[in-house]
Amino acid sequence: MGNEVELLKHWRELTPQKQQKVLEFVEQLKSESETTPPESDFVPQTPLGKNYGQFDNERSLGLSPPVQ
């Protein structure tokens, strides 16, 4: 059974109050995905974050001494 058909089947079994809760939850999910950038697009914005990224890359390449 496709997701849409399954959702509709469950939707029809809900009370109007629970249907409203589902609608509110879906709206919340939509707003989260629109405002939260994917993790792969993250770019550090602070000097500390930028320096840490550089330090971590150097350490992984063996260019800086290990942290003690």
Q: Angle at the Cα of 45 (from 42 to 46), degrees rounded to 5? A: 135
Indicate whether this model's pTM tops 0.85. no
pLDDT at 13: 95
pLDDT at 12: 95
pLDDT at 30: 86
Q: pLDDT tens digit string along 1-60?
A: 688 999 999 999 999 999 999 999 999 888 876 666 556 566 767 777 666 666 555 555
Contact by Cβ (8 Å): 41, 49: no
